[in-house]
């Protein structure tokens, strides 16, 4: 429900009574636009166009990527500079659809879309998951804050989850200054105390305060892939921005999209 100040109510009453007094506008009722996050693309790298990117993670100089698409879902390790896939585990059935990944305490966690299964791998062996866990909702994006795993399910919710048993510890609803919910939160990355999230089927990444759920900034990447790969002619749905990774040591941020031929190194300004 919208809340109105006493001043605003007086203005409305005066207007209704035909008062000749000068109208006073309560500026606190006007939503403040979400601040833009300025950035610079500093490098571009080759990205495997067979990768229907669902999760992206940078760890000890290597790029880890979880991909979706029935039959072709995978977990892979890539040399980010060349785009060469060095190791790939095919999850491999027509009923499993891989989603977001995160690395936490030498374990790789990988969500599935509608299967309610989480695969857990040892960081040194992605050939086979060492165990599975249950997740009651759809799996979309996944990251961690060093203590909890943070999960999106395609709604405006972010779930803070115990890594050991996947029980939900707390939930926040993500909203902009207008009060509107930000739905379709997808791939996630935790960077310097904030959660960055792709908004599915858009060219925007939002920065979220994990305490309040408030969106504190927005990256607009409209036209990025078209600018740097003008000959790229994707199938419908394959051009979607989806993939955020961060190297905390070098402060490098990486972004890509589903079956994009490019991955970009980004510097936040």
Tens of pLDDT, residues 5-46: 333 433 334 444 455 556 665 655 667 889 999 999 999 999
pLDDT at 191: 97
Tokens 């939900």, residue located = 168
Tokens 């921005």, residue located = 241
Residue 180, pLDDT > 90, answer yes
pLDDT at 4: 37
pLDDT at 39: 97
Kindly write down the DSSP assignment for every residue of 216-235, as one continuous string: EEEEE-TTHHHHH-TT--PP
pLDDT at 28: 59
Residue 52, pLDDT > 90, answer yes
Domains along the sequence of the chain with CATH: 1-30 (no CATH), 35-268 (2.120.10.30)
pTM: 0.88
**If we measure between CA atoms, which residue out of 38, 19, 88 comes closest to residue 205?**
38
- What count of other Cβ atoms lies within 10 Å of the Cβ of residue 46? 15
The pLDDT mean for the chain works out to 90
pLDDT at 9: 39
pLDDT at 26: 61
């Amino acid at each position: 429900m919208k809340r109105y100040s006493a001043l605003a109510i007086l203005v409305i009453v005066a207007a209704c009574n035909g008062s000749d007094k000068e109208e006073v506008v309560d500026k606190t009722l006007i939503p403040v636009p979400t601040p833009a996050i300025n950035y610079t693309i500093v490098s571009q790298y080759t990205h495997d166009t067979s990768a229907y990117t669902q999760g992206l993670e940078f760890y000890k100089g290597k790029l880890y990527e979880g991909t979706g698409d029935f039959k072709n879902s995978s977990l892979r390790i890539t040399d980010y500079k060349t785009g060469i896939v060095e190791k790939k585990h095919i999850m491999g059935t027509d009923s499993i659809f891989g989603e977001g990944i995160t690395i936490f305490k030498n374990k790789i966690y990988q969500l599935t879309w509608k299967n309610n299964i989480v695969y857990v791998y040892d960081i040194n062996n992605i050939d086979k998951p060492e165990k599975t866990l249950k997740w009651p909702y759809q799996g979309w994006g996944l990251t961690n804050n060093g203590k909890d795993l943070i999960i999106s399910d395609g709604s405006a919710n972010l779930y803070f989850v115990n890594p050991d048993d996947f029980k939900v510890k707390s939930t926040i609803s993500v909203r902009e200054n207008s009060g509107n919910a930000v739905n379709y939160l997808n791939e996630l990355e935790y960077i310097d105390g904030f959660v960055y999230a792709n908004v599915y089927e858009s060219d925007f990444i939002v920065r979220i305060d994990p305490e309040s759920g408030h969106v504190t900034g927005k990256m607009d990447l409209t036209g990025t892939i078209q600018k740097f790969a003008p000959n790229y002619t994707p199938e419908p749905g394959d051009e979607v921005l989806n993939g955020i990774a961060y190297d905390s040591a070098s402060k490098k941020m990486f972004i890509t999209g589903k079956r994009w031929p490019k991955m970009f190194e980004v510097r936040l300004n």
